[in-house]
Structure 1
Amino acid sequence: MPFALLKYGLAKEHPEDPHFRWAPELKSTYDVVVIGAGGHGLAIAYYLAARHGITNVCVLDKGWLAGGNTARNTTIIRANYLTPEGVKFYKESVDLWRGLSNQLDINMMYSERGHFTLAHTDAAMRTARWRAEVNKHLGVKSEVIDADEVKRLCPTINISDDVRYPVLGALYHPPGAIARHDAVAWGYAKEAIKRGVEVHTQTGVNKILIENGRAVGVETNRGTIRAGKIVQAVAGSSSEVARMAGFLLPIRTIPLQACVSEPVKPILDQIIVSGSLHVYISQSARGEMVMGGATDPYGLYSTRSTLDFKESLMAHMLELFPFMGELKVLRQWAGMADMTPDFSPVMGLTPVQNYYIDAGWGTWGFKATPVCGARMAECIVDDRQPELLKPFALDRFRTFDLVGEKGAASVGH
């Protein structure tokens, strides 16, 4: 044990400023109440305080800090989407990610690895070219490469024709990255709290108070709070919380499973995704192989994992990376993904005045944390839909002006 750590543990006083100063009691009134203490909710609170000077903010969560999907994802960050709306949105997010460790004064272990979306069919290659062109026009680095180039950049992958789904090529996205998910939540939480924001865990919201079409407060298991504005950022519980506010969401909640192997020495520096096979893999800083697949085919409010997922995932993984036959699965889990009909999120204004929504993330959520926090804070302050968020407004389902991202978001990560 390091001597400095032992000295710190035995000391009677600790002059260092603690990361988290928990508020013991709820106040009766806040300017903004954020429902959900995951990455998005904490980021919204932070940007409200840091960029707009609104510090009388309360973040509520029925569980614990970042105990939902923030801790149940596989931490991939990218901007190589299919639609111009999606690419613009994620380009801004990647730009924010690159300076986030310094901004929040915490090591998020942000690591750019290069993101490969494998193509196994001619149709997949055509989609890769389409995505590459959209990306390039909007200033995002992406290019289509052949199987030999995939092998050169990622020597551990198997590109043999002697498999069921040979690799024909890939969409290569050099800025693709990973980061430590819990550090993101901790960083936003500590910096928001430092600016006066309150975070209350184990505080469930039982009712949204509506008066004359306007949200005015929430009833919790610890009492009633009045609020000038309310925003929900609750991932898998989006439909249930919106129903409390009096409106329905076009969302289907389904499990999204993942797993990690036992840790090994660094062998895979890249992020490998196959939209056709519905699998993806990267290696964490601890040496674990982080793997996942598509969402389950049925709606379910559950974070249980299944043998069926693991078996189907491994069949494809062993074709792509035969060396993994020697590895053991260390742990397996699931998150709850909110899927909209067009595979794109819902952000901004709602039919209820002073009530805002951050939902429908499906497989987009983690990588959107900084841009969503910044733009949702802007939306709340100005009470209007920011230009970047206009394509993702809830009203698009009434006008049928959808954002079709299924082609770039069909794999859960």
Structure 2
Amino acid sequence: MKAEVVVIGAGVIGVLTTAALLEKGISNIVVVEKNYPGSGGSFRCATGIRASFTSREHVEVMKRAIELWPILSSKYGIKYSRDGYLWVLTREQDVEFFKKVVEFQNSRGVPTRVIGPSEVQELVPTMRTEKIIAAVHDPLAGKADCFEAVLNPLRDLRKQGVSILSRTQANKLIVEDNTVKGVHTDKGVINADQVLVAAGGGSRKLLKTIGIDLPIRDLPKHVMVTETFKPFIKPLIIDWSTSSYILQLLHGNFYIGADIPEQYDVEASNKIEFLRKAARVWTDYFPWLKEVYILRYWTGFYDMTPDHHPIIGPIKEVEGLYVAAGFSGHGFMMAPAVAEALAEYITGGKPVVKEFENLNYERFVRGDVIKEIAVFG
């Protein structure tokens, strides 16, 4: 099999990048997925979309993603709603810190603001606010349906003749004279002029086959989802002091996450400590949650980099090789902007958002890392 471009990974990044390449006139594309489309982080994510970060790179990339999400929503019929984020603060030191964060975000055009408990109550009438000192409200933020964001464009790709190879494991990249030539899979060799690796934590293993060690480690994350209710909580709510969050998904379920102590690169397993913490934190704010049934609990991974920013773009050591990995939990929300940038790179151009150029692999070779602390939710 021969392709112009092979995309490894059929999550939201791989699928939307393939769609962006088609728009630029590249039609001979093969997408390789070891399981089924969306089976990695895309179908497990919290669906949140925000630009309220603490680095210029994250803010500018996400501002572009927020511009593109309504366009994709209209084009592919993806449910998208700009319902906001709410960062709940219960410690004085956090309030002082977030005042500085809000000042930075406002300077970059993100309209966050510090609000009091009464305004929290207005935004979320069913929430108890006795413990809340203040909160940060991000009205620009929102959420999208993670299933439709993969499956709807994927349906369009298939109609346009893109080969989607599910249950196909990419085992080794083929490189000759510092130029990518294709990929070995468990179903045979696919020759290609260019290869994009967008395989989450598995990207590191694949790049190692050609001697490049991406600084990516998998960190287990825990989530549960409840039975469905008529929508009545709009923003995604983060309790900063406990590293916990809750939101009502667009189809009505409550999606609840909470951090518990975990080690990198271990096998994911469900733990009773998560259920106890999540229940303790959120039944305190919403006592009625005690009566709600939990439908599912799963553990996935954040593919983390040392500076909590993704690795996006060409690998300079190998012509024709590109990577999009290490999103540290934020790949879904920035996917439209990442897809646009990768399509530019692969077709010989430069990203619309110049900050993408700071997210290359070489920054770790240089030791030039970026600081980001808002890596939850």
| Partner AA of 2:284 in structure 1 | E
Aligned partner letter, 1:244 = T
Report 1:5-404 matches (<5 A).
Answer: 28-50=1-23, 52-104=24-76, 106=77, 108-160=78-130, 166-294=131-259, 297-350=262-315, 351-382=317-348, 387-404=354-371
C-alpha displacement at 1:33, in angstroms?
0.4
Report the RMSD for the aligned CA atoms in angstroms. Answer: 1.7
Q: For residue 55 of structure 1, give the secondary structure of its aligned residue in structure 2.
A: coil
Report if aligned partners of 1:112, 1:175 keep a CA contact under 8 Å in 2.
yes
SS at match of 1:276: helix
TM-score by length of 2: 0.95
Whichever residue aligns with residue 363 of structure 1, its letter is G
| Residue 209 of structure 1, CA deviation | 0.8
Distance 1:67 1:256, change over 3 A: same
Distance 1:103 1:265, change over 3 A: closer
- CA distance in 1 between partners of 2:350 and 2:107 (Å): 28
Which of structure 1's runs of 4+ aligned residues deviate more than 4 A? 383-386
Alpha-carbon separation, structure 1, partners of 2:208 and 2:350 = 22
**Offset, 1:49:** 0.7
Q: Which has the larger radius of gyration?
A: 1
Listed as ranges, the gaps of 5+ residues in structure 1 are: 1-27, 161-165
Q: What do residues 47-104 of structure 1 show as CA deviations (whole Å, max 9, x unaligned)?
A: 0111x11111111011111111111111111111111221111000011112212222
1:236–1:301 CA contact under 8 A, matched in 2: no
Instruction: Judge conservation of contact 2:111–2:138 (CA < 8 Å) in 1.
Output: yes
Kindly indicate whether the alpha-carbon contact (under 8 Å) linking 2:117 and 2:129 is maintained by their aligned counterparts in 1: yes
SS in 2 for 1:208: strand
Take 2:104 and 2:129, find their aligned partners in 1: how far apart are those partners?
Answer: 27
Q: Which amino acid aligns with 1:283?
A: Q
Distance 1:42 1:177 in 2: 21
Write the distance in 1 (CA, Å) between the matches of 2:231 and 2:186.
47
Amino acid across the alignment from 1:222: K
Kindly state the Cα deviation for residue 296 of structure 1 after the two structures are TM-superposed.
5.0
User: Which secondary structure does the structure 1 equivalent of 2:209 belong to?
Assistant: helix
Q: Distance in 1 between matches of 2:351 and 2:210?
A: 19
Q: TM-score, normalised to structure 1's length?
A: 0.87
Q: After superposition, what is the alpha-carbon deviation per residue over 1:181-204, rounded to whole angstroms, capped at 9, x for unaligned?
A: 110001221233333322111111
Work out whether residues 349 and 384 of structure 1, in 8 Å CA contact, stay in contact via their aligned partners in 2. Answer: no
For 1:382, what is the secondary structure of its paired residue? coil
**Alpha-carbon contact 2:83-2:235 (below 8 Å) kept:** yes
Corresponding residue of 1:20: none
Mapped partners of 1:267, 1:109: distance in 2: 17
SS in 1 for 2:129: coil
Cα distance, 1:286 vs structure 2: 3.1
Whole-angstrom distance in 2 between the partners of 1:266 and 1:384 = 41
Cα distance in structure 1, aligned partners of 2:268 and 2:13: 20
CA contact (8 A) 2:3 2:29 kept: yes
The answer on whether the counterparts of 1:348 and 1:385 sit within 8 Å (CA) in structure 2 is no
CA distance in 1, matches of 2:56, 2:7: 29
Separation (CA, whole Å) in 1 of partners of 2:261 and 2:209: 27
Shift of 1:404: 1.0
Do 2:341 and 2:350's aligned partners in 1 also have CA atoms closer than 8 Å?
Answer: no
SS in structure 1 at match of 2:368: coil
Provide structure 2 residue ranges, at least 5 long, that are not aligned to the other structure. none
The whole-number CA distance in structure 2 between the counterparts of 1:191 and 1:138 is 35
> Aligned AA for 1:58?
V
Alpha-carbon separation, structure 2, partners of 1:210 and 1:102: 40
8 A Cα contact 1:132 1:142, kept in partner: yes
Q: Are the counterparts in 2 of residues 238 and 338 from structure 1 also a CA contact under 8 Å?
A: no
Shift, 1:238, TM fit: 2.2
